[in-house]
Amino acid sequence: MTGGLSFNVILVVILVVLVLLVLASCIRIVPQAQAFILERLGGYRSTWNVGIHFKMPFIDRVAKRVNLKEQVVDFDPQPVITKDNVTMQIDTVVFFQITDPKLFTYGVENPIMAIENLTATTLRNIIGDMELDQTLTSREVINTTMRSTLDVATDPWGIKVNRVELKNILPPAQIIDAMEKQMKAERERREAILKAEGEKKSSILVAEGNKQSAILDAEAEKQAAILRAEAAKEKMIREAEGEAEAILKVQQAKAEGIRLIREARADQTVLTLKSFETLEKVADGQATKIIIPSELQNVAGMVKAAVEVAKD
């Protein structure tokens, strides 16, 4: 009897434990940035968001846990051909976020693989309409076009493509070598242009310097000529003033002599002698012909007669 009671107690305990485990399994806590897809008897029942939830035992199950954070997928390089028939490798990085857990769960079998294949085909379509140079310089255009195309295509899958980036563009080795030579030639051309510009500016500066020097020399010569002219003018003025003063003094002396002769009441003989002295001074010059007034000739004759009388 005691053994049967113990067995019943153990059985009850086991049943209670099983019930508790089943009840515990029916309680689910959904963490932040996640969503649970609940199915009942194999069909979609509801989407559980953040918080605590309960499900029916044995008939309900959590079919999928969906991450609602923004996710990043780095795809392997894809071979693409440009419009001018250049084959190159391009790898892309896609940033996406799940906006509808139900569509993400039931919309496509493998969403990541679907995005990868869609990215490759979209990239080939875009690059196929561009030439090599345009492809290398139009990353932003390619990124924007791919993002809009992928966003529309993945909308039925409950996925929103936020951003698409071309990580690497790898042209063939021959193209890379040609591009390096082209860049080297471009750098050399720019260097030559800069050197020519420098020499041009240097020549202009030298010419400007020579011009300024010539202008300054001309200004200095002009000022020197002006100063020389002013000095010569002042010298001439001083010489003229000296000559005028000398003439004035001579005239004053002559006037004084005449005044003294008048005051001495000199007779005609004295005046005649003075005239001879003046004539003597005139004869000292370079003149070859001298005209003597008749009055002086008469006076000379009288003087000669007087001298002869005195000798007798």
Res 11 pLDDT > 90? no
Calpha distance 155→103 (Å, rounded)? 9
Query: Per-residue pLDDT averaged across 58-73, rounded?
Result: 91
Q: Which tokens belong to 243?
A: 């000559």
CA dist 219 and 115 (Å) reads 84
Q: What is the pLDDT of residues 214-258, one digit of tens each?
A: 888 888 888 888 888 888 888 888 877 777 777 777 777 777 766
pLDDT at position 108 is: 86
Cα(63)–Cα(47) distance, integer angstroms: 10
- pLDDT tens digits for 115-168? 999 999 999 999 988 888 888 888 899 999 999 999 999 999 999 999 999 988
3-class SS string, the chain = CHHHHHHHHHHHHHHHHHHHHHHHHCEEEECCCEEEEEEECCEEEEEECCEEEECCCCCEEEEEEEECCCEEEECCCEEEECCCCCEEEEEEEEEEEECCHHHHHHHCCCHHHHHHHHHHHHHHHHHCCCCHHHHHHCHHHHHHHHHHHHHHHHHHHCEEEEEEEEEEEECCHHHHHHHHHHHHHHHHHHHHHHHHHHHHHHHHHHHHHHHHHHHHHHHHHHHHHHHHHHHHHHHHHHHHHHHHHHHHHHHHHHHHHHHHHHHHCCCHHHHHHHHHHHHHHHHCCCCCCCCCCHHHHHHHHHHHHHHHHHHC
pLDDT at position 71: 93
Q: Can you tell me the mean pLDDT for 299-307?
A: 47
Give the model's confidence band at 298: pLDDT under 50 very low, under 70 low, under 90 confident, else very high: low
* Residue 69, pLDDT above cutoff 90: yes
What lies within 8 Å, CB to CB, of 195 at 6+ separation is none
Beta-ladder partners of 46: 38
Q: What are the φ/ψ torsions at residue 223 (nearest 5 degrees)? A: -65, -40
